[in-house]
Amino acid sequence: MTFHFLWPWIFILAPLPWLVYRLAPQAKGGDAALLVPYCSDLVEIGDGAGTGVASVRIIRVVLALGWFLLVAAAARPQWVGEPVLMPTSGRDLLLAVDISGSMAEEDMILDGRQTSRIELVKKVVNDFIDRRRGDRVGLILFGTQAYVQAPLTFDLKTVGELFNEAQLGFAGKKTSIGDAIGLAVKRLKERPAESRILILLTDGSNTAGNVLPARGAELAATTGVTVYTIGVGADEMLVRSLFGTQRVNPSADLDEETLQMIAETTGGRYFRARNPDELEDIYRMIDKLEPVIQESETYRPVKELFFWPLGVVLLVSFGMVGMNILGNYFGTRFGGGR
């Protein structure tokens, strides 16, 4: 860790006030333009114990110090940290997550309690995002409509926060799988062709949108986008009713055939997540299928420090103004009592 000034050449301005004082024309004693009515009082106070001369010297020192701190702030002092490895792979990875109303189905068990599909997906996907350091990651949310929640970025923390803020129903209650793929292709085709990945997660079938899933898969294959599809939802759950407890299949609407077709057309794979463990295993498997490539790129974090000298100057200025106000106040009182 090192300390340095980004613009050290600014310190050539440090002697500027002294040069102005020495070289600028100065008024002579007889040409004073300012008349102080109570000048004799000030002289008497100053001559009493030499405090006047001392005060002038202190003020000059304080002003000189203030000017130097201003110059130091303008030179941009910085604290540069140790080099940090920044792995980059050039991979562009988009997550497309279904936020239709069916994702509120509570057929999952998380930490010993019944939970909704979307709550489980948020937890697992956030862990997956944290492991993708070096990839550009983006987020697409879809229901009746598909929209970009987070563009492709290295800022994984922001992507995770935006995903956590997603609410069910914002994009409509239906499911537009084809539109989600089409939007992902539109975003990825403008990126370099090294590796374009789409991970699509849904718990239903295509019931809305302008693009059919088959057409979306063809577009993805043409542009070199590999699509990994994930079908989420339990195979059975117990439901209480007037006729007692019944076993139902909460994933009856899941179109596995279409999801398999999309994955096969684009060179990806289809996964089935019936519980939290399977969903976590799926994302870990995708980590292995699309590993993050480490490269020797580094950066050094920089912390700006200019506000410290500016803060000191501000405090000193307030102090001098306060002393001046108090001096005038007490001087007026003493002067009035003469």
Q: What is the pLDDT of residues 90-140, one digit of tens each?
A: 578 999 999 998 898 888 888 778 889 999 999 999 999 998 887 889 999
Q: What's the pLDDT at 315?
A: 87
Q: Average pLDDT of 44-51?
A: 46
pTM above 0.85, yes or no: no
- The total number of residues shown for the chain amounts to 338
- Per the CB < 8 A criterion, the answer to whether 125 and 137 are in contact is no
In this structure, how many other beta carbons lie within 10 angstroms of the beta carbon of residue 136? 20
**Residue 16, beta-bridge partner list:** none
- Per the CB < 8 A criterion, the answer to whether 185 and 219 are in contact is yes
The string of pLDDT tens digits covering residues 288-334 is 888 765 555 566 778 888 888 888 888 888 877 777 777 666 665 55
What is the Rg, in whole angstroms, of the alpha carbon atoms belonging to the chain? 35
**Site of tokens 């988009």:** 94
What residue type is assigned to position 181 of the chain?
A: I
- Per the CB < 8 A criterion, the answer to whether 144 and 102 are in contact is no
**What is d(CA 220, CA 20) in angstroms, rounded to the nearest whole number?**
70
**Site of tokens 């102090």:** 319
Structure tokens, 21 = 């004082």
